[in-house]
Amino acid sequence: MKLAQISALSAAIFMATSAQANAFLDDSSLNLELRNFSETKTGDDGTTKSSNTQWAQGVRLDFTSGYFENIVGLDLSGYYSLKLSASNIDPFVGNPGLLRVDSEGDSHSYGKTAYAIKFNLADMGVAKYGRMFLDMPLVNNSDSRVLPGLSEGFYADVAFSGLSAHTAWVKKGNGRTESGFTDYEAYGDSQAVKTLGGSYDFGNGLVLSADYASQSDYAKKYLTEASFSTEVDGIKAGVAGQYGHASLTGDSEPATGDKSQYAYGLKVTAGVGQADFGVAYTKVEDTDIGDYNSGWSGGDDDTGYFGYNAIQISDFRSNGQKAWGFTAGYDFKGIVDGLSLKGIYVVGDNKYEDEKEYNLDVNYAIPQVEGLTARLRYAKNTVEAKGEDDVVKTDTRVILKYNVAVF
């Protein structure tokens, strides 16, 4: 009788465990992306002319599990950028960012991995620890080339009834063209970057958000934003404003002079039918600190600038710079399904130089093959420094992506 009871208990435990294991697997997904990328950057300062080209094939696998016992799961990723061709990379123009470049200017294939253990926060969010891609306003990784940058540390987010919040404690960073991770550090000491932020959607088109981030002996930063969007008789309209503030702290704080700097932006957008338009104004405070600092110390940091006029080549965040940006786009649905076109022109100035940049972005989601897209991005930037020759840079990118859900 006792043996039968033990056998029944063992069977029940096995069935319960199997059910949880099935939930872990049934809610899992594996995505494959093939990203073929060619980029050419040129530069001309009136004395030196240079051109750098890289062509790479990226292979990206992302596995996301379900939750065992609805509590714990795993995320695993593997990435590789295969060199197809490349010129010798001239530092004057810089690395296009598709391949790893050594001290001799030679490009090389490279790869990286990401992994994280994750915990379900009552179906309202997730907490993770490991190596992962982060995308928060003041701490983020770049995914604008073949492989993404990554961060190592802790991350969590929650969302409930219009309110969302996120936090992170990041101790190491990995640049988009590197395999290894390096410590975030300031003045020789490892110092993690910590951030906390959130937003509230009022449900009527109004969204308010605020973020804070700090690194003990380097800087603390704030960013706030308010946006409102609506649609009347098929016409979409939106307005947004943002304010950022960065202060030097600890050992990086100067004994005299400016210790902080602000930047702000305003933008208005409109959509009529399949056409979209936008106007943006941004300004960086004129201080003796220099250009507005959006990144952090150490960690191969890829954190990008948040400004509305940050585009392909320039962020338009130089010291004291004011900039106007104009955007126009069109979706050719019904004429050439899957095709869209966007143009941007930004003009800015500070007391030392004038700057302008043109961007052209053509996207085509090929309807005959699900998951296949082609994209052309072209940018030309000109800096006209007072009393000096113009510096002209171009950046041309051709990108083919194929995404497939393996399961």
Pairing of strands 150-160, 322-331: unpaired
Is 8 among the domain residues? no
Query: CA-CA-CA-CA torsion for 284, 285, 290, 293, nearest 10 degrees?
Result: -50
Query: CA-CA-CA-CA torsion for 299, 90, 146, 391, nearest 10 degrees?
Result: 90
Is 144 among the domain residues? yes
- Asked if 338 and 366 count as a contact pair (C-beta separation under 8 A), the reply is yes
Is 143 among the domain residues? yes
The predicted pLDDT at position 25 comes to: 80
Is 3 among the domain residues? no
- Burial letters 158-178, b for 16+ CB under 10 A, else e: beeeeebebbbebbbbbbbbb
Partners of residue 55 on adjacent β-strands: 38, 85
DSSP three-state, residue 1: coil
Positions of the chain with pLDDT under 70: 1-23
Is 129 among the domain residues? yes
Structure tokens at 327: 């955007």
- Asked if 272 and 330 count as a contact pair (C-beta separation under 8 A), the reply is no
Cα gap 228→25, rounded to integer Å: 41
DSSP three-state, residue 25: helix
DSSP letter string, 184-234:
BEETTEE--EEEEEEEEE-SSSEEEEEEEEEETTTEEEEEEEEEEEEEETT
- Asked if 98 and 146 count as a contact pair (C-beta separation under 8 A), the reply is yes
The boundaries of the domain holding residue 254 are 24-405
Give which of 244, 348, 358, 356 is closest to 306, Cα–Cα.
244
The predicted pLDDT at position 14 comes to: 45
Kindly give, in sequence order, each residue whose CB lies less than 8 Å from that of residue 190, ignoring residues fewer than 6 positions away: 171, 183, 184
Kindly give, in sequence order, each residue whose CB lies less than 8 Å from that of residue 344, ignoring residues fewer than 6 positions away: 311, 325, 326, 327, 357, 358, 359, 361
DSSP 8-state class, residue 10: H
CATH code: domain of residue 389: 2.40.160.10
The predicted pLDDT at position 12 comes to: 43
- Asked if 211 and 242 count as a contact pair (C-beta separation under 8 A), the reply is no
What is the enclosing helix (H) or strand (E) of 360?
A: strand 353-365
Kindly give, in sequence order, each residue whose CB lies less than 8 Å from that of residue 395, ignoring residues fewer than 6 positions away: 39, 40, 41, 312, 313, 377, 378, 379, 381
The predicted pLDDT at position 300 comes to: 94
The dihedrals phi and psi of 214, each to the nearest 5 degrees, come to -150, 155
The dihedrals phi and psi of 223, each to the nearest 5 degrees, come to -150, 125
Number of domains composing the chain: 1
Cα gap 244→310, rounded to integer Å: 14
Cα gap 400→58, rounded to integer Å: 10
What is the enclosing helix (H) or strand (E) of 284?
A: strand 275-284
Cα gap 381→360, rounded to integer Å: 12
Cα gap 72→324, rounded to integer Å: 48
Give which of 129, 136, 171, 134 is closest to 154, Cα–Cα.
129
Is 251 among the domain residues? yes
DSSP letter string, 83-123:
EEEEPPPPTTT---SSSEE-TTS-EE-EEEEEEEEEEE-TT
Is 2 among the domain residues? no
The predicted pLDDT at position 392 comes to: 98
Give which of 266, 374, 376 is closest to 39, Cα–Cα.
376
The predicted pLDDT at position 306 comes to: 98
The predicted pLDDT at position 7 comes to: 57
Give which of 172, 168, 218 is closest to 194, Cα–Cα.
168
Is 7 among the domain residues? no
Structure tokens at 287: 């201080």
Cα gap 233→252, rounded to integer Å: 53
Residue 236: CB atoms within 10 A of its CB come to 14
